[in-house]
Structure 1
């Protein structure tokens, strides 16, 4: 745990809500993310783990358990048409908070980017590496 890390100290941010927790992880929702990404949240380990590759086996199992709870909760509360799930690992992937966090993003058929998932942006021709 580090003092400055927002995911190590979720109670320090009044806009951060702990929706569920278990032995090793939290499912968090941030008030300021709800305008565009309605219902979105993250699953984070309580211990400071910089990347997903640093998670323990127990943290993986606890992440799975919270994902199932989050899906039921979000399905009941927000009625999404689908979900986008994912981790960013490293600067090239846009990991801006150096504490592993698993994005749980409800998706809706009436949103402007409906039908466009994680890979859509990555497989655009302009994203091809120059050799």
Structure 2
């Protein structure tokens, strides 16, 4: 456990809520993601309860628990937010965009009326701005 980690110590980020959990992992949402029309409407993260720096450090049990929560989160989001698609992913390491050094799997619902609808994760990497 890292005493400064917002996923090891949930009280450090009071706007996050545990929506689902199992023995090994939790699905969390920030209050702002629960607001209709917000930029990350419906988004959340799946995190292991034990401090693991990246997805590469997860145990087999944590992988299985992540999949279980992913399916529960999808059913929850489908019912509550009715997205037309999803982006799923981990950022690993500073160069990969990881800002919190506790593994967290992003579950981001996508909507047809977004300005970037139809643009996937690779869109930013393939852009001229990243050359």
2:95 alignment partner, SS class: helix
1:85 aligns with 88
1:25 aligns with 25
1:20 alignment partner, SS class: strand
The alpha carbon displacement at 1:86 in A equals 0.4
**Structure 2 residue runs without a partner (length 5+):** none
**Structure 1 residue runs without a partner (length 5+):** none
Q: TM-score, normalised by structure 1?
A: 0.93
The question of whether the paired residues in 1 share the 8 Å contact of 2:25 and 2:66 is answered with yes
CA RMSD, 1 decimal: 1.1
Which residue, out of 115, 119, 122, partners 1:119? 122
For residues 11 and 73 of structure 1, the distance between their equivalents in structure 2, rounded to whole angstroms, comes to 24
What does residue range 59-78 of structure 1 map to in structure 2 within 5 Å? 59-78=62-81
User: What is the number of equivalent residue pairs in this alignment?
Assistant: 128
* 1:2 counterpart = 2:13: no
Q: TM-score, normalised by structure 2?
A: 0.93
